Amino acid sequence: MENYLKTVTLGAFTWRDKKRIALLFDHIRKQGALWLLLHFLLVTIALNFPVTLSVARLTPFELYSRLYGENFMSALPESGRFFPEGNAAVQADIDNFNLFLYETGYGRNVLLPVLGMLFGLVLVIQAVFFLCAAFFLGLSRMNSFPLSFRDRFGLIVFSSTLPVLASSLFGLFLPTVHIIIFYFIIIFFIFQRSALCPNG
């Protein structure tokens, strides 16, 4: 646990100091695979938080409208016809729809599965990005001192702490855009730190 916290701290607060970069790699090599996967999962949860929050704050009608498109209201069996926006009848139908779903277990039956699928999607995107980054980091070091896959993956995971916190705060205002920003920051961080790697 102590080594894990030191590695997280070094990964978050090491900039252009070669000695600290060397110390970071030493700590990464001492980490067990379980701690590496744990930190990867924590980074993924933090990255997914703004998306989860934005979806959880939607009413059932807003969620279904986004899933099914603009004509969702006219597709409701009770609607019968298209109501102009702002019409009191439309608002009554929307309120009734929301109330009906809340009473029939919307949170457990609809919202939780949607949030689970979103987390699974972000987890897959994270895994693909981190693996690709580790692969390309290995290619970039072919003519210098090679790093093992574990070193490269550890560098990416432990360099993600501050960027994921900053991008998640940004994601509270622009969810999903923060994921792209996070990946750009991480690419810059890992290649900069790789260049400062001892024997590199």
The answer as to whether 43 is a domain residue is: yes
pLDDT in tens, 86-100: 466 667 778 888 888
The answer as to whether 44 is a domain residue is: yes
Q: Which of 150, 157, 133, 161 is nearest to 33 (CA)?
A: 150
The answer as to whether 123 is a domain residue is: yes
Instruction: For the chain, give the longest Cα–Cα distance.
Output: 72
The answer as to whether 141 is a domain residue is: yes
pLDDT of amino acid 71: 60
pLDDT in tens, 168-180: 999 999 888 999 9
The answer as to whether 82 is a domain residue is: yes
Strand, coil or helix: 164: helix
In the chain, pLDDT over 90 holds for what percent of residues?
A: 41
The rounded distance, in Å, linking the Cα atoms of 158 and 190 is 10
Per the structure, the complete domain to which residue 173 belongs is given by 2-195
The answer as to whether 200 is a domain residue is: no
Strand, coil or helix: 197: coil
Q: What is the mean pLDDT of residues 119-143?
A: 89
What are the phi and psi torsion angles at 172 (to 5°)?
-65, -25
pTM of this structure: 0.83
Asked whether 90 and 140 are in contact (CB, 8 A), the reply is no
> Considering its fold, how many domains does the chain have in total?
1
Alpha helices, H only, the chain: 2-13, 18-30, 33-56, 60-68, 72-75, 88-103, 106, 112-140, 149-158, 161-171, 177-195
Q: Which of 114, 141, 123, 3 is nearest to 56 (CA)?
A: 114
The answer as to whether 73 is a domain residue is: yes
The answer as to whether 170 is a domain residue is: yes
